[in-house]
Structure 1
Amino acid sequence: MSFVKGLKHVAATVTALATAAGLLTVGAGVASAGPRDWLRPDATGTCEWDAAGHWVQRCDVWSPATGKNISVQIQPAARGGNAGLYLLDGLRATDISSAWLVDTNAAAKFVNNNITLIMPVGGESSFYTDWETPATYDLKDPVTYKWETFLTKELPVYLEQNFGVARNNNSVAGLSMGGTAAMNLAAHHRDQFRQVLSFSGYLTTTLPGMQTMVRAALLDAGGFNVNAMYGSIFSPRRFQNDPFLNMGNLRGADIYVSAASGTAGPGEAGRGAGLLAGGAVLEVFSNASTKLWALKAKASGLQITEDYLPVGQHNWALFSTQLDRAHDRILDVMNAW
Structure 2
Amino acid sequence: MRRALVALFVMLATALGLLAAPQQAIAANRDVLRPDNSGTCEWDAAGYWVQRCDVWSEATGRNIPVQIVAATNGGNAGLYMLDGLRATEQSNAWLVDVNAAQIYEDSNITLVMPVGGASSFYADWEAPATYDFNNPVVYKWETFLTSELPAYLEQNFGVSRSNNSILGLSMGGTAAMNLAAKHPDQFRQVMSFSGYLATTLPGSQTAFRAALLDGGMYNLNAMYGPLLSPRRFENDPFLNMDGLRNSDVYISAGAAVPGPQDADYLPEHVASGVALESYANFITRLWGLKARASGINFTEVYTPTGIHNWEQFGSQLEETKGRVLDVMGAW
TM exceeds 0.5? yes
Kept in 2, the 8 Å contact 1:175–1:198? The answer is yes
**The one of 170, 195, 214 aligned to 1:220:** 214
**The one of 82, 89, 113 aligned to 1:119:** 113
**Cα shift at 1:37:** 1.2
Alignment of structure 1 residues 85-104 onto 2, 5 Å: 85-104=79-98
1:25/1:211 Cα in 2 relative to 1: closer, same or farther (>3 Å)?
Answer: farther
Deviation per CA, 1:102-141: give whole Å up to 9, x if none.
0000001111010000000000000000000000000000
Kept in 2, the 8 Å contact 1:256–1:306? The answer is yes
Structure-2 residue corresponding to 1:16: none
The one-letter amino acid of 1:175's match is L
Name the CA distance, whole Å, in 2 between partners of 1:164 and 1:241: 30
Kept in 2, the 8 Å contact 1:260–1:313? The answer is yes
Structure-1 residue corresponding to 2:138: 144
Residue 154 (1) aligns with residue 143 (2)? no
What's the TM-score once normalised by structure 2's chain length?
0.93
Question: What value does the CA root-mean-square deviation take over the aligned residues?
Answer: 1.4
**Cα shift at 1:320:** 0.2
**Cα shift at 1:150:** 0.1
**The one of 258, 270, 273 aligned to 2:267:** 273
Q: Secondary structure at the match of 1:154?
A: helix
The one-letter amino acid of 1:222's match is G
Structure-2 residue corresponding to 1:251: 245
**Cα shift at 1:157:** 0.2
The one-letter amino acid of 1:186's match is A
The unaligned stretches of length 5 or more in structure 1 are 1-23
**Cα shift at 1:270:** 2.3
Q: Secondary structure at the match of 2:67?
A: strand
Name the CA distance, whole Å, in 2 between partners of 1:77 and 1:126: 28
Residue 333 (1) aligns with residue 317 (2)? no
Kept in 2, the 8 Å contact 1:25–1:32? The answer is no
Structure-2 residue corresponding to 1:62: 56
Structure-1 residue corresponding to 2:18: 26
**Cα shift at 1:309:** 0.4
**The one of 42, 48, 57 aligned to 2:36:** 42
Q: Secondary structure at the match of 1:216?
A: helix
The one-letter amino acid of 2:311's match is A
Q: Secondary structure at the match of 1:244?
A: coil
Q: Secondary structure at the match of 1:287?
A: helix
Name the CA distance, whole Å, in 2 between partners of 1:271 and 1:27: 54
The unaligned stretches of length 5 or more in structure 2 are 1-15
Name the CA distance, whole Å, in 2 between partners of 1:93 and 1:132: 20
The one-letter amino acid of 1:315's match is N
Q: Secondary structure at the match of 1:245?
A: coil
The one-letter amino acid of 1:236's match is P
Residue 165 (1) aligns with residue 139 (2)? no
Name the CA distance, whole Å, in 1 between partners of 2:112 and 2:155: 14
**The one of 91, 100, 106 aligned to 1:106:** 100
Q: 27-36 or 248-257: which moved more?
A: 27-36
Structure-2 residue corresponding to 1:80: 74
Structure-1 residue corresponding to 2:12: none
Equivalences, count: 314
Kept in 2, the 8 Å contact 1:131–1:230? The answer is yes
Name the CA distance, whole Å, in 1 between partners of 2:302 and 2:162: 29
Deviation per CA, 1:240-298: give whole Å up to 9, x if none.
00000000111110000000011111021221221111000000000000000000001
1:27/1:184 Cα in 2 relative to 1: closer, same or farther (>3 Å)?
Answer: closer
Kept in 2, the 8 Å contact 1:132–1:230? The answer is yes
Structure-2 residue corresponding to 1:204: 198
Alignment of structure 1 residues 6-25 onto 2, 5 Å: none
**Cα shift at 1:32:** 4.2
Deviation per CA, 1:35-62: give whole Å up to 9, x if none.
1111000000000011000111000000
Work out which of the two has the higher radius of gyration on C-alpha atoms and give 1 or 2: 2
What's the TM-score once normalised by structure 1's chain length?
0.91
Structure-1 residue corresponding to 2:185: 191
Residue 303 (1) aligns with residue 297 (2)? yes
Structure-1 residue corresponding to 2:6: none
Q: Secondary structure at the match of 1:243?
A: coil
Name the CA distance, whole Å, in 2 between partners of 1:124 and 1:81: 31
The one-letter amino acid of 2:75's match is G
**Cα shift at 1:26:** 2.2
1:71/1:29 Cα in 2 relative to 1: closer, same or farther (>3 Å)?
Answer: closer
